[in-house]
């Protein structure tokens, strides 16, 4: 029996993955903000992952309650049309879609390392978007909801490269599922709300997106990160995943956390 931890596991692809592993008889821990949306049979933990202390509290709780983690799915996201800062003074998308994934990846590496074939699945995006915007990682200028999500995908590509270098026995998969008919949780202006409505109507079923990513969770080769776009492994973007940039981002993130 595997132990599977899923953030953003109360909706969309995260909930679909939870349902799949529960159907296999595995133990599933779902992290979210609404217990009523958790898949029956899952262990629900409430956490607001935009906040640094909430991530650390979650890590401590899981470390105290679990002996190992076989699969860690990082899927929590909440898109906003307007730039918003958290109580920690961080841009909300940076905090939730990158920093939380950084904290949980590294904070749970010990539990992952005890599994026979551990894997991290990061819904942080996969694609060719270029290097990080080092002069404005938190989108203080020229903010746009879509570009903020793209920026998070770039940062997560670098996170994967650095993480595998530090934990080569843990597989790391960055995934872009394409347009999927999920809730698209967020706070949108009128124009983006209309666009989201069209995406909900035309997106592929959650079940399809789950089937596309499961083969990469069930098997793979440790030692290097894998980028997946709609079920197909794609080359890593050399600009977004250089080892030098990955280590630079790690150091920058540690500085952010130390403030």
| 183 has a pLDDT exceeding 80 | no
CA distance 50 to 244: 27
Q: Which of 50, 80, 75 is nearest to 193 (CA)?
A: 80
Per-residue pLDDT tens digits for 116-175:
999 999 997 766 667 788 998 998 988 887 788 888 888 999 999 999 999 999 999 999
Whether residue 85 is predicted with pLDDT greater than 70 in this model: the reply is: yes
State the sign of the Cα–Cα–Cα–Cα dihedral 134, 135, 138, 139: negative
pTM above 0.85, yes or no: yes
What is the predicted pLDDT for the residue at 259? 86
Q: Is the pLDDT of residue 240 over 80?
A: no
Specify the pLDDT at position 201: 65
The answer on pLDDT for 41 being more than 80 is: yes
Q: What is the DSSP string of 37-71?
A: GSPTTSEEEE--TTSHHHHHHHHHHHHHH-S--SE
Phi-psi sector, 209: left (phi>0), alpha (psi -120 to 50), beta:
alpha
* DSSP three-state, residue 29: strand
Q: Over the stretch 185-200, which tens digit does the pLDDT of each residue have?
A: 766 667 766 666 676 6
Instruction: Please report the pLDDT score of residue 131 as a whole number.
Output: 78
Q: Is 71's pLDDT higher than 70?
A: yes
What pLDDT, on the 0 to 100 scale, is given for residue 184?
Answer: 67
Question: Which DSSP string corresponds to 143-200?
Answer: --HHHHHHHHHHHHHHHHHHHHHH-TTSEEEEEE--SB-S---EE--HHHHHHHHHHH
Burial (CB < 10 A; 0-12, 13-18, 19+), residue 165, is middle
206-219 per-position pLDDT tens digit: 899 999 999 999 98
159 and 122 in contact (C-beta within 8 Å)? Answer: yes
- From 154, 172, 175, 158, select the one nearest 225 (Cα to Cα): 172
């Amino acid at each position: 029996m595997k132990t599977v931890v899923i953030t953003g596991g109360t909706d969309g692809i995260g909930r679909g993955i939870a349902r799949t592993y529960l159907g296999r008889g595995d133990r599933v821990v779902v992290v979210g903000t609404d217990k009523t949306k958790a898949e029956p049979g899952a262990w629900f933990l409430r956490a607001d992952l935009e906040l640094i202390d909430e991530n650390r509290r979650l890590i401590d709780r899981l470390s105290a309650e679990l002996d190992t983690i076989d699969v860690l799915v990082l899927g929590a996201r909440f898109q906003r049309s307007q730039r918003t800062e958290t109580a920690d003074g961080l841009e909300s998308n940076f905090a939730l879609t990158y920093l939380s994934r950084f904290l949980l990846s590294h904070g749970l590496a010990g539990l992952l390392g005890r599994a026979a074939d551990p894997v991290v699945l990061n819904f942080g995006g996969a694609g060719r978007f270029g290097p990080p915007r080092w002069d404005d990682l938190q989108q203080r200028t020229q903010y746009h909801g879509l570009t903020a999500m793209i920026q998070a995908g770039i940062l997560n590509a670098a996170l994967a490269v650095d993480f595998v270098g530090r934990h080569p026995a843990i597989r790391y998969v960055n995934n872009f599922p394409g347009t999927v008919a999920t809730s698209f949780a967020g706070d949108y202006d009128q124009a983006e709300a209309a666009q989201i409505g069209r995406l909900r109507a035309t997106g592929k079923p959650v079940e399809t997106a789950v089937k596309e990513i499961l083969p990469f969770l069930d098997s793979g080769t440790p030692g290097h990160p894998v980028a997946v776009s709609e079920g197909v492994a794609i080359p890593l973007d050399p600009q977004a995943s250089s080892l030098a940039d990955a280590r630079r981002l790690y150091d920058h993130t540690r500085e952010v956390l130390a403030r």
